[in-house]
Chains A and B, each alone.
Chain A
Amino acid sequence: AQTVTQSQPEMSVQEAETVTLSCTYDTSESDYYLFWYKQPPSRQMILVIRQEAYKQQNATENRFSVNFQKAAKSFSLKISDSQLGDAAMYFCAYTSGGTSYGKLTFGQGTILTVHP
């Protein structure tokens, strides 16, 4: 079974600085997709960024970028120029491109605190 591991329960960053959240996953498949979701105190789940496993290029969305290391099964999220509104719980998630029937497997989450 696929597993997703976030080894950092909590992280903190100063406003305007850069922070990296870690995620590793375990799979034997070659076709899969990875995601980072943000859950602020409002508890709404917001998609931050998406990566296709067969694409070498790391995904970027404005201040958010990933470092996708397929061989190492690592998928970290870098937040640049951190803002107070980035404070939230961040979840890494995995889905198989093949036979998962749309199942998303989530990591345990990382709480990000942003200090002014």
Chain B
Amino acid sequence: DTAVSQTPKYLVTQMGNDKSIKCEQNLGHDTMYWYKQDSKKFLKIMFSYNNKELIINETVPNRFSPKSPDKAHLNLHINSLELGDSAVYFCASSQGGRANYGYTFGSGTRLTVV
């Protein structure tokens, strides 16, 4: 069983569309994250949820809206996609609102906006 699974792995879409990326973890962790890896491979946090509560919201456009229906799921919805949104998006999880033992990452979703 995959510990942190993201779907889809690849997503190609046109500018202006709305798309969602889903993430689920079966580790029993209570904290989940979204990171964006840009074309230069730089990883930057976007959001963090702890027990369904938003605790980190970095400077991210309002077009990005995370949703956590329960502590095992954290989805990312993106409205009005732009070319600059093309990147790899990683979901990750950890325990207790901390990263003292690092994260368990999903395999990433490569989003290409054309």
Residues of A bordering B, CB below 8 Å: 33, 35, 37, 39, 42-45, 47, 50, 52, 89, 91, 93, 95, 97, 100-106, 108-109
How far does the alpha carbon of A40 sit from the alpha carbon of B48 in the complex, in Å? Answer: 25
> Are B56 and A109 closer than 8 Å at their CB atoms?
no
Residues of A within 8 A of B66 (CB): none
> Are A43 and B88 closer than 8 Å at their CB atoms?
yes
Q: Which of B12-20, B72-80, B100-108 contacts A (4 or more CB under 8 A)?
A: B100-108
Residues of B within 8 A of A102 (CB): 31, 33, 48, 50, 55-56, 94, 97-99
| Dominant secondary structure at the B interface | strand
> Are A47 and B108 closer than 8 Å at their CB atoms?
no
Residues of B within 8 A of A101 (CB): 48, 50, 55-56, 97-98
Q: Can you list 29 residue pairs at the A/B interface with Cβ under 8 Å?
A: A33-B99, A33-B100, A33-B101, A35-B102, A43-B88, A44-B105, A44-B108, A45-B103, A50-B102, A52-B100, A89-B41, A91-B43, A93-B102, A95-B99, A97-B98, A100-B98, A100-B99, A101-B55, A101-B98, A102-B33, A102-B48, A102-B50, A103-B99, A104-B102, A106-B42, A106-B43, A106-B44, A108-B42, A109-B42
